[in-house]
Amino acid sequence: MKPAPLHAKMAQGTSHINFLLFVILILPFIIQVSAKYYDWHYEGEVGIHTWHANYNICAAGNHQSPIDIITKDTVYDDVLKEFIIWYNPHHPKGQMIAFNDGRTVKIKTIGKFYIANGGLANPYKIDHLHLHWGVKNNNGTEHYINSQSFTMELHIVSYDVKKYDTVQKAASQPMGLAVLGVLFKESDIDNPALDLIVDNLKAMQQPGHPKVNLEAKSLRMFLPKDISRYYRYNGSLTTPACYESVIWTIFEEYNFISKKQMQKIRDLFYVYDAAEEQERLNRAKNNGTESTTETPSATLAGEGNTTDINDLFRKYRFEMVNNFRPVQDLNDRTVLRSFKELRKQSPIKTNPGNSTTSINALVHPWVTFFLLFLYLWALA
Ligand SMILES: *[C@@H]1O[C@H](CO)[C@@H](O)[C@H](O)[C@H]1NC(C)=O
Ligand SMILES: *[C@@H]1O[C@H](CO)[C@@H](O)[C@H](O)[C@H]1NC(C)=O
Ligand SMILES: *[C@@H]1O[C@H](CO)[C@@H](O)[C@H](O)[C@H]1NC(C)=O
Ligand SMILES: *[C@@H]1O[C@H](CO)[C@@H](O)[C@H](O)[C@H]1NC(C)=O
């Protein structure tokens, strides 16, 4: 953070009173927001390449996540039975509270949200859900399958509730956490389950916005149709502190999200260190050509006569995209799978509508017609 050049330039472009207002009212807020949200981020000064400075396991660990799952190298394990996933609607105390945490949208679950079975020794209590996505459709998930990335990845984060009474205590302990990962691919059709999240994103478009109470629902609806087929490996948190405490489950079948829904997610914002970002923009602008030293901070901070915090956010905010960590080395690990036979195509898509059936309907009459023709021809 280099606030000095910023307010120095601000003073030139605006009245002293406005500058004073800026310093007294707004600047501490920006510094606070920056400090609060950016001890690590995905790019810039505190981007992925710097994580290890404060969180040494991120670089030193050799069981890190995410990974590229090469399906032909996975090994069948019959211990990996189907999951039980529940939120019991007979206990009306359940809550799902969504907010923009400056890096993703997080949905905290409060109440009886659990997962069990699925090869887990104990029941795990679901703490929260969050998403990872990109700016491009084929570059948004954290986990890759057969060296392919998809549009978005949902993580359902749970902790061993038999051993630990809080997620914080579990987060640094081996097998303390179990995370279910669902890969999403863009489709033309809305995924109705995701409306619960995407329709509420406008209200939490910026990190400063209040949290939003969602209607508590079973988390099963976010998963693909077939949850008996999944991959399993031991890995880490994909964000600092990168603790190697996670039993990972990645479902074989991927789910779907429409372009429209994805756009609502990409319309989220985070607030960046303004001075640093402005320098980056300048570098790009003056790329090799004449090097003007003029810092357009005044432009950045608007015309300088605003003390409206929302205006300020509009000017300092950045599109929240590419909030995923690149794949890490597998090293000595084996990825297990819950099903015997690999399918030819992996992952398998949850059918978003009847598009596949309509192709079948097209194929079938032709095949039948052809067989009938052969039969008649043989008879003749
Ligand atoms: C995917 O996005 C990341 C982060 O922006 C970038 O570094 C990488 O080159 C992209 N990969 C592809 C194949 O576009
Ligand atoms: C994860 O680690 C535990 C403890 O070392 C081990 O028992 C288990 O088999 C590992 N799971 C996988 C999927 O490798
Ligand atoms: C400068 O321009 C070149 C080519 O036009 C481009 O490849 C490069 O990424 C630019 N650098 C910056 C900092 O924008
Ligand atoms: C102050 O803001 C108003 C709109 O809110 C704008 O029209 C005007 O140009 C601004 N004044 C200065 C000096 O930038």
Atom of ligand 3 nearest to the CA of 280: 13
Characterize the bridge pairing of strands 230-235 and 246-251: antiparallel
Buried b / exposed e across 270-297, counting CB within 10 Å, b at 16+?
bbbbbbbbbeeebeeeeeeeeeeeebeb
Residue 380: per-residue pLDDT: 60
Residues contacting 380, CB < 8 A, separation 6+: none
Ligand 4 pocket, mutate which of 19, 305, 306, 314 (most atoms under 8 A from CB): 305
Q: Are 49 and 333 in contact (CB under 8 A)?
A: no
State whether the beta carbon of 283 lies less than 6 angstroms from ligand 3: yes
Which one, of 184, 138, 59, lies nearest residue 322 by Cα? 138
Please tell me the number of the ligand nearest to residue 144's CA.
Answer: 1
Residue 318: per-residue pLDDT: 75
For ligand 1, the distance from its centroid to the CA atom of residue 343, given in whole angstroms, is: 28
Ligand 3 pocket, mutate which of 43, 286, 287 (most atoms under 8 A from CB): 287
Please tell me the number of the ligand nearest to residue 286's CA.
Answer: 3
Residue 63: per-residue pLDDT: 98
Q: Which amino acid is at 48?
A: I
For ligand 4, the distance from its centroid to the CA atom of residue 297, given in whole angstroms, is: 16
Atom of ligand 1 nearest to the CA of 139: 1
State whether the beta carbon of 233 lies less than 6 angstroms from ligand 2: yes
**Whole-model pTM?**
0.72
Ligand 2 pocket, mutate which of 74, 175, 331 (most atoms under 8 A from CB): 175
Which is it for the CA torsion 245, 80, 182, 343, positive or negative?
Answer: positive
Residue 287: per-residue pLDDT: 58
Per-residue pLDDT of the chain (380 residues; tens, 9 = 90+): 333 333 333 334 445 666 555 555 555 455 444 444 468 889 877 889 999 999 999 999 999 999 999 999 999 999 999 999 887 666 667 899 999 988 999 999 999 999 999 999 999 999 999 999 999 999 999 999 999 999 999 999 999 999 999 999 999 999 999 999 999 999 999 999 999 999 999 998 877 678 999 999 889 999 999 999 999 999 999 999 999 999 999 999 999 999 999 999 999 988 754 455 556 556 666 655 433 333 323 233 333 433 444 455 555 667 889 999 999 999 999 999 999 999 876 666 665 543 333 333 334 445 555 666 666 666 66
Atom of ligand 4 nearest to the CA of 303: 14
Buried b / exposed e across 240-251, counting CB within 10 Å, b at 16+?
bbbbbbbbbbbb
Which is it for the CA torsion 264, 270, 272, 274, positive or negative?
Answer: positive
Atom of ligand 4 nearest to the CA of 302: 14
Ligand 1 pocket, mutate which of 139, 318, 324 (most atoms under 8 A from CB): 139
Residue 31: per-residue pLDDT: 45
State whether the beta carbon of 303 lies less than 6 angstroms from ligand 4: yes
Q: What are phi and psi of 58, to 5 degrees?
A: -55, -35
State whether the beta carbon of 287 lies less than 6 angstroms from ligand 3: yes
Question: In this structure, what token pair is assigned to residue 27?
Answer: 């600047």
State whether the beta carbon of 232 lies less than 6 angstroms from ligand 2: yes
Does the bond joining 275 to the residue before it have cis omega, within 30 degrees of 0? Answer: no
Distance separating alpha carbons of residues 67 and 325, to the nearest angstrom: 10
Atom of ligand 2 nearest to the CA of 233: 13
Q: Whose CA is nearest to atom 7 of ligand 4?
A: 303
Q: Whose CA is nearest to atom 9 of ligand 3?
A: 284
Distance separating alpha carbons of residues 124 and 116, to the nearest angstrom: 6
The HSE-up count of residue 230 (CA atoms within 13 Å, CB side) is: 26
Distance separating alpha carbons of residues 34 and 208, to the nearest angstrom: 12
Distance separating alpha carbons of residues 162 and 123, to the nearest angstrom: 7
Q: Is 301 exposed, middle or buried (0-12, 13-18, 19+ CB in 10 A)?
A: buried
Q: What are phi and psi of 357, to 5 degrees?
A: -65, -35
For ligand 4, the distance from its centroid to the CA atom of residue 305, given in whole angstroms, is: 6
Atom of ligand 1 nearest to the CA of 324: 4
State whether the beta carbon of 4 lies less than 6 angstroms from ligand 3: no
For ligand 1, the distance from its centroid to the CA atom of residue 316, given in whole angstroms, is: 24
Angle between helices 27-37 and 3-13 (to 10 degrees): 150
